[in-house]
Amino acid sequence: MEKNLQNELKKEAAIRAAEFVENDTVVGLGTGSTVKFLVDELGRKVREENLSFTGVTTSKRTASQAESLGIKIVSLDSIPRIDLTIDGADQVDNNFNGIKGGGAALLWEKIVATNSKKNIWIVDQSKLVDRIGSFPLPVEVIPFGALHVLNKFEELNLNPALRLTENGKKVMTDSQNYIIDLHLNQIIDPAKLSNQLINTVGVVEHGLFLNVVDKVVVGKKGQPLILENPDK
Ligand SMILES: O=C(CO)[C@H](O)[C@H](O)COP(=O)(O)O
């Protein structure tokens, strides 16, 4: 999909999803380019429509954008619950399984998501797929012994690659871990892979988000589509 159109559709989904944010609630704010549109819109609503909510963010990036727009941000441990989290995703299949972590924020994203009463993902239509996996699956690993974890993944034919910055430095997450991307093409059994990864010593978390999302707001030509997860 052409970049300008994709951005337009991301923005459309983000603006539609902002309507789900209610006054006096605690809202988890995800990370990424789609969420950036969401935070802009929520900032506008705070300024122009007196929307009042408390945010919990899934990255330092989102926290600084939100605070610069006047959105109140608190730490996760200072609040008893999160009412709703809105986040992006890299791919979503028909069973509402998703891959996240393209922006390297998957650990905080999963912690915030699993502590939220409701989760909404905002995506453009190109991210809806029959089977997830053509987007590389991010795995967050602690730096100590990371190359041994990479070798194990290699032995398991998971096609791992340590994520590097444009300058060739290792990408560091907000928790000071590394990211290994698994180039799998397709994931036949997401639950099995999820168990396998999380049981590998050195892995902190992975980007398979299974049975997490309640609603997906899809930016598509025409108007946004809202998909409801029947299993939630
Ligand atoms: O999981 C994420 C960050 O870790 C993002 O939500 C995901 O990568 C989608 O990003 P974008 O909205 O930029 O396409």
ipTM of the shown complex: 0.99
- Give the number of other Cβ atoms within 10 Å of residue 49's Cβ: 9
Q: What rounded mean pLDDT belongs to the chain?
A: 98
Sheet order of strands, 26-29 included: 72-73, 54-57, 26-29, 82-87, 116-124, 215-219, 225-228
- CATH assignment of 137-203, among 3.10.20.600, 3.90.180.10, 3.20.20.80, 3.30.70.260: 3.30.70.260
User: How confident is the model over 54-78, as pLDDT tens digits?
Assistant: 999 999 999 999 999 999 999 999 9
- Give the closest residue (by CA) to ligand 1 atom 3: 103
Task: Give residue 64 CA to ligand 1 midpoint distance, Å.
Answer: 17
Task: Taking the CA atoms of 40, 75, 197 and 162 in sequence, report the sign of the dihedral they define.
Answer: positive
- Give the closest residue (by CA) to ligand 1 atom 2: 101
Residue 125 clears pLDDT 90, i.e. is over it? yes
* 231 annotated as ligand-binding: no
- Identify the CA nearest to 209 among candidates 108, 125, 76, 70: 108
Task: Give residue 136 CA to ligand 1 midpoint distance, Å.
Answer: 12
**CATH class of this structure's domain 3-130+210-223:** alpha beta
Residue 1 clears pLDDT 90, i.e. is over it? no
Q: What is the pLDDT of residue 55?
A: 98
Instruction: Name the residue of 6, 29, 34, 57 whose CB sits within 8 Å of the most ligand 1 atoms, as the mutation to test its pocket.
Output: 34
* 181 annotated as ligand-binding: no
* Positions marked active-site: 109
Structure pTM? Answer: 0.97
User: How confident is the model over 102-111, as pLDDT tens digits?
Assistant: 999 999 999 9
User: How confident is the model over 176-205, as pLDDT tens digits?
Assistant: 999 999 999 999 999 999 999 999 999 999
Backbone angles phi, psi at 105, to 5 degrees: -110, 20
Say if residues 194 and 208 touch (Cβ distance below 8 Å). Answer: yes
Which residues have C-beta atoms less than 6 Å from ligand 1? Answer: 30-34, 87-90, 100-106, 109
Task: Give residue 35 CA to ligand 1 midpoint distance, Å.
Answer: 8
User: How confident is the model over 28-46, as pLDDT tens digits?
Assistant: 999 999 999 999 999 999 9
Domains of the chain by residue range:
3-130+210-223, 137-203
